[in-house]
Amino acid sequence: MAQRGLTRTYQESRARFLDAAAAAGARIESFPHPRAGLHGETLAIDVAALGEPDATAVLLIVSGTHGVEGFTGSALQHHWLDRVTSSDASVQVPSGLRVVLLHAFNPYGFAWVRRVNEDNVDLNRNFIDWTREPPANEDYGGLAHLLVPDDWDDDTQQQTTLQLLAKAEEIGFSRLQEVVSGGQYTHPTGVFYGGSGPVWSHHWLDEHLRRVVGDATRVGIIDLHTGLGPWGHGELISHEGREAPGYRRGTAWWGEVRSMVDGESVSANLSGDWLGAVESMLPGVEVTAVALEYGTVDTVTVLQALRADAVLHATGEPLGTGSDAVRAQVRAAFADDDPAWFDAVVARFDEVVDAAISHLPA
């Protein structure tokens, strides 16, 4: 029987993905990352494609935009490849469509069990227009020292957490979420940092997206995420407003899609997400893109894990004493090893992917 569920390491996820892609007869390309992983392993973005090379429609399924969230995304890609190769072949790529699986868009974060990349950058805050001033998030500065204090002993954790909760009381939880997670460009060791220019994965997309898409005139994108929303629930999130054609196509394919812009989503409205940049990279192509966001634990537990991770890396000792515990805390915030969680996640994934496959070919 095929392995199912989440692995413990990036290496294991990558090996399993490449094996399953080869077994499915996919065309595979690997793009090495300049840095090494937690265990010294090679890092790469791996791209596996199935279906006609000159198809006019492409479905792109992406894992690991947020590093550690790739444990789930990779397992889902592996699950899909297994469906293609299984004896009952419960899924087939129809004529006119190519399915492209992009494994570990942020491979460094995946391998190091971080949501951010090698520069402490949140990839989904990095796709802003770098020819202009980055968006301002003035209120972040007042919280920066509370979110990522100088050390992480029990006293400091307790005190800073109480102060953050008091702040939530004062300005409201959703405003606090916006300030903390909306993106900031001023505190490089902080949380939800957008960077000071395009990062490695951003450059990779600029360079390769056009070729990945090929001749397609219609592109669907499902970007797999975890860490927001109710346990096991998969919310579809659009970066577009409700009036946008892409948003409307999304609701025609999938039913309910929540708009981040119109404040309907579990996600705060944020700056610099990569899906929002795709249309400008693919002029003339009809793009229908969503994030599929699965809930794990509650928001405060997720934030505590991200703070612990940020402090660990701000101190420059990511392999120091206690660092494995922090990585375990981060993994637990973004991936759940309970088979019931993965069953729910898979069922939703199949529904979303199957709907895209049935709507995409012209």
**What is the closest distance, in whole angstroms, from the C-beta atom of residue 118 to Zn ion in the complex?**
17
Sequence-distant (6+) residues with CB within 8 A of 96 are 52, 55, 56, 57, 361, 362
**What is the closest distance, in whole angstroms, from the C-beta atom of residue 142 to Zn ion in the complex?**
25
64/361 with CB nearer Zn ion: 64
**Per rule CB under 5 A, is residue 307 in the interface with Zn ion?**
no
**Per rule CB under 5 A, is residue 66 in the interface with Zn ion?**
yes
**What is the closest distance, in whole angstroms, from the C-beta atom of residue 29 to Zn ion in the complex?**
24
**Per rule CB under 5 A, is residue 114 in the interface with Zn ion?**
no
**What is the closest distance, in whole angstroms, from the C-beta atom of residue 175 to Zn ion in the complex?**
21
**What is the closest distance, in whole angstroms, from the C-beta atom of residue 224 to Zn ion in the complex?**
8
> Of 131-190, which residues contact Zn ion (CB under 5 A)?
none
Total of chain residues touching Zn ion, rule CB under 5 A: 3
Stretch that binds Zn ion, among 34-42, 63-71, 204-212, 235-243 (CB under 5 A): 63-71
82/223 with CB nearer Zn ion: 223
The interface mask with Zn ion, positions 20-59, x = CB under 5 A, is: ----------------------------------------
222/360 with CB nearer Zn ion: 222
> Of 218-237, which residues contact Zn ion (CB under 5 A)?
225
**What is the closest distance, in whole angstroms, from the C-beta atom of residue 50 to Zn ion in the complex?**
25
Q: Which residues bind Zn ion (CB under 5 A)?
A: 66, 69, 225
